[in-house]
Structure 1
Amino acid sequence: MSTSPSRCLSDWRELSTRTCSSSISAGIHCVTFQPTPGTPNKDRFVAQEWDIDGQQWKFLAILDGDCTAEYSATALPGRIEAELRGVVERYKRRFGRSRETFIKRIYYFDKEIGDAVKELCPDPSLLDDEQARNLIDAHREVFQRAYCGSTLAVALLDNERNHLWIAGLGDSTVGLTYTSPDGYGDGERLLTLHSTHTPSEYFTILMRHPTTEKKTIIQDEPLGDYTLKFESIYTSKLFFKLAGRTEDFLTSIQANNKTPPYIMNVPDTRYIDLAPLRHRNPTLVLFTDGVDVIVDGETLVSKNERHTLDPAVVVGKLLGREIDSGYAQETIGHDVEVNWMGSSENRNRATEFLGNLMAGTSKETFASFLGPAERGEWDNSLCFDDTTILLYDLQASQS
């Protein structure tokens, strides 16, 4: 394939598709993307189907973080599935308690991450430097997943696709997109983002602490991140010895961590009755904040000025069978093409959507995102946030 900037659009699309990691599992279309050379993709996702009492349940999750995301993506789904099996067995088809299952299991899962540290070291003040290093070396994974953090967005869907339970921690998104009879799309965010960029969230956190702590660092990743949940001595004695954060960050935590916790591990949850929405042709969508970054025009390769649009609405508009060219140009700075991967039902709709969101029909924008890495010209002034998208069609006719 030619590496010339003048290559054709289909070549750029092929390159972007090869750069993505894409899959379709249990009818769930998944894509994750990080083109920066030498930069590992820290997003994780889960797309599973569970057979519970003869009924097929769909479970979707995305996590944006570090080793905490890796650990949670591996361990948390099984915990939720086991909890759900118990609920179904006890209450049969009365699923009202499924929301409680989410809250309980996610809260205690995160609590276990912190409890594991305190079981190993109830009082860090008793350790000298050598003892602390030896303890970390012997149990590095336990300390690492408590030290790092991850966002979480999950969705649970029953066999008939009439009942949807969702939960979220952090700034990853769960949404529904809709398609009108004339083919145009729309979308809505279903949960409040747990982020200091959300005014109500910022106010809630501030009200828990003295006014003198308004400048305290508050992160957006509520799973793990125990530097902001434990007393500062855990940071100075233990977490400070783990790589991954700047010394300025850790110094700030030591100086400002007066009344922890500063982030909470109680998820925002919601139940949605999908039956009344069936006529709107709904699609379930989960995505990490890499999508927000593109929509907001924050990528340094983007030509757009920063926007204040709701990414869930933009996603819905771009997933329609018909897309207003003027809207696309205004919001993301380029035109898009519906079904550019073809009309096959086997095409990955998440990958197709990401291509439209990132560059659409613009060879110049594709070249900005993908060209420097391919030519070995990437530098630190160019960045692209990890981006993960899951799509699941909620139409009753789908198998």
Structure 2
Amino acid sequence: MLAEPGSSAPQKEAQPLSVAWFDDIPGSICGPEDGPWPRAFTNLTSSEAWDKLSLASDPQSLAYGTGKEWRADALNFQPFPGTKSQDRYAMQQLRIGDRIWTLTAVFDGHLGDATVQHAAYHVPIIVREFLEDLDKKHGGRVVPPPLVADVFSSAIRAFDDAIANDVLELFPGGLDAAMEMPDQQIHSILNDQFVGGKNFERARLCMYGTTALVALVDPEHTNLWLANLGDCQGVMVSETAPQVWSYEVLTRVHNGQNNREVERVKREHPGEPDCIIDGRVLGAIAPFRCLGDTPFKQPPEFTRRLLYNLFPGSNDTSLWEEFLVLNKTPPYISAMPEVTHFPLDRLQRPLRRYLILCSDGFTDICGQHRRSVIDRWLRTIPPVARDRSGTMPMPPNRALQLLWQGLGGESVSVSKALTLDLDVPWLDDITIVVQSL
């Protein structure tokens, strides 16, 4: 029977399939403190679980290439009905001159969804603009991969620079000028919601942040570039012989688990032992690289004079002040992406190859079993076969298939993850993009 609130939880024993314990739920955000345990869930059939998972994650696909021979699948999943996902993804073809590039991306927002939504929409646009400029300078000729990597990095940094600069431009003279203004004047400039809200929306982007993992593939499908900021992950799986797959993690996390990142931040802020506290930047935030999060990139006066004047504001700024008093030599969070180039050899192309981009919500539910989850998923993907007309049937969404395996790979485990009777979120937001290469 279910434990009564305030009573000692019973020892785990054989239970009907209609109840779950906290360690039956994948990932790390569901724990004993969310009890009493066990909790009820709705035990769905396989078809019901698949349909509900599909409805909850809204999987989408993009077919691309001259003959639409390539495909990218994506989804965004958060089962708790009271929580709006702060993850986003992008899948777009970018026409540069008379050639088509492909961009896919995963963004994992934090504190709110304004900045992550902005990034998912505008990062592809600014990457396209920078590639267009590069193409014009080279007269449409193929550009060396290192130069593409530099331009790719510059585009993403320019996107991030604009977040704060668009606000500072509202004040002729910049932050120094704003420091001389009374609060009421700053308040009236920023809070223009009754006349369109353009200034307000600009300033609001500074309040939040997002990690980013952006993949760029050239028109010939001979080169892949990955731009990484934060703790999303990229994995490449290649079929080197029938049903024989290689597996390569392409990214490194930019947080306190990465000693190189820890040393970088300490090196950039000598004499500041509190630049990292308990594995967090200024003791407040986990990602060491991301987009947005302007209070960690601008002087503390930017936050105190500008962001504190955003409507409705807050009477309690103590949480902000805990890290603002440590903000002495910004920026502490970097918008410099780690850009890596991967040649896609056409002469030794594997039978099949997939790039997996995912937010840390997916790596969280997989835990130490990420490789085995992907192995199980690969076994569910049949060899590509054409029908008698020569066309290939549309297979199920590969991102959805991968999520199914990450949640346990069978209806009971997926049902628990989908329908747990809990009044707080039990899974982190999950976004997955699977791209054929």
Query: 2:157 is matched with which residue?
Result: 107
Residue 377 of structure 2 contacts residue 405 of structure 2 at CA under 8 Å; is this kept in 1? no
Matched, 1:137 2:157: no
Query: 2:415 is matched with which residue?
Result: 367
Q: Where in structure 2 are the equivalents of 1:52-201 lying within 5 Å?
A: 52-65=96-109, 66-91=113-138, 92-96=141-145, 97-121=147-171, 122-123=175-176, 124-138=178-192, 139-201=199-261
Q: Structure 1 residues 24, 98: closer, same or farther in 2, change over 3 A?
A: same
Matched, 1:16 2:53: yes
> Residue 78 of structure 2: which of 34, 51, 62 is its match?
34
**% same residue:** 26
Superposed CA offset, 1:199-229 (max 9, x none): 2112211222224324223441521101101
Residue 187 of structure 1 contacts residue 314 of structure 1 at CA under 8 Å; is this kept in 2? no
**Matched position secondary structure for 1:238:** helix
Superposed CA offset, 1:115-169 (max 9, x none): 1122224234323332333233122111111221111111111222111111111
- Per mean C-alpha deviation after superposition, the further-off stretch among 209-218 and 10-19 is 209-218
Query: 2:404 is matched with which residue?
Result: 355
Take 2:108 and 2:206, find their aligned partners in 1: how far apart are those partners?
15
User: 1:344, CA displacement in angstroms?
Assistant: 5.1
Query: 1:326 is matched with which residue?
Result: none
Matched, 1:293 2:347: no
Query: 1:304 is matched with which residue?
Result: none
Query: 2:294 is matched with which residue?
Result: 226
Take 2:41 and 2:254, find their aligned partners in 1: how far apart are those partners?
43
Gap regions ≥5 residues in structure 1: 297-306, 322-336, 395-399
Query: 2:329 is matched with which residue?
Result: 259
Take 1:273 and 1:392, find their aligned partners in 2: how far apart are those partners?
16
**Matched position secondary structure for 1:206:** helix
**Matched position secondary structure for 2:336:** coil
Query: 2:431 is matched with which residue?
Result: 388
Q: Where in structure 2 are the equivalents of 1:305-324 lying within 5 Å?
A: 307=368, 311=370, 313=371, 316-321=374-379
Partner letter of residue 55 of structure 2? R
Residue 238 of structure 2 contacts residue 350 of structure 2 at CA under 8 Å; is this kept in 1? no
**Matched position secondary structure for 1:147:** coil
Partner letter of residue 43 of structure 1? D
Matched, 1:5 2:42: yes
Take 1:152 and 1:34, find their aligned partners in 2: how far apart are those partners?
19
Residue 102 of structure 2 contacts residue 216 of structure 2 at CA under 8 Å; is this kept in 1? yes
Q: Structure 1 residues 105, 244: closer, same or farther in 2, change over 3 A?
A: farther
Residue 169 of structure 1 contacts residue 265 of structure 1 at CA under 8 Å; is this kept in 2? yes
> Residue 51 of structure 1: which of 92, 95, 99 is its match?
95
Take 1:21 and 1:192, find their aligned partners in 2: how far apart are those partners?
28
User: 1:290, CA displacement in angstroms?
Assistant: 1.0
User: 1:40, CA displacement in angstroms?
Assistant: 1.1
**Matched position secondary structure for 1:392:** strand
Take 1:228 and 1:235, find their aligned partners in 2: how far apart are those partners?
9
User: 1:280, CA displacement in angstroms?
Assistant: 6.4
User: 1:35, CA displacement in angstroms?
Assistant: 1.1
- Per mean C-alpha deviation after superposition, the further-off stretch among 210-219 and 109-118 is 210-219
Superposed CA offset, 1:222-255 (max 9, x none): 2110110111122222323557998453121222
Residue 106 of structure 2 contacts residue 213 of structure 2 at CA under 8 Å; is this kept in 1? yes
Take 1:128 and 1:344, find their aligned partners in 2: how far apart are those partners?
65
Take 1:129 and 1:88, find their aligned partners in 2: how far apart are those partners?
46
**Structure 1 stretches of 4+ moved >6 Å:** 243-246
Q: Where in structure 2 are the equivalents of 1:319-330 lying within 5 Å?
A: 319-321=377-379
Partner letter of residue 186 of structure 2? A
Superposed CA offset, 1:265-307 (max 9, x none): 11100111110662363211211111121122xxxxxxxxxx4
**Matched position secondary structure for 1:131:** helix
**Whose radius of gyration is greater, 1 or 2?**
2
User: 1:4, CA displacement in angstroms?
Assistant: 7.7
Count of equivalent residues: 356
TM value normalised by structure 1: 0.81
- Per mean C-alpha deviation after superposition, the further-off stretch among 92-101 and 239-248 is 239-248
Take 1:119 and 1:18, find their aligned partners in 2: how far apart are those partners?
43
Take 2:397 and 2:74, find their aligned partners in 1: how far apart are those partners?
7
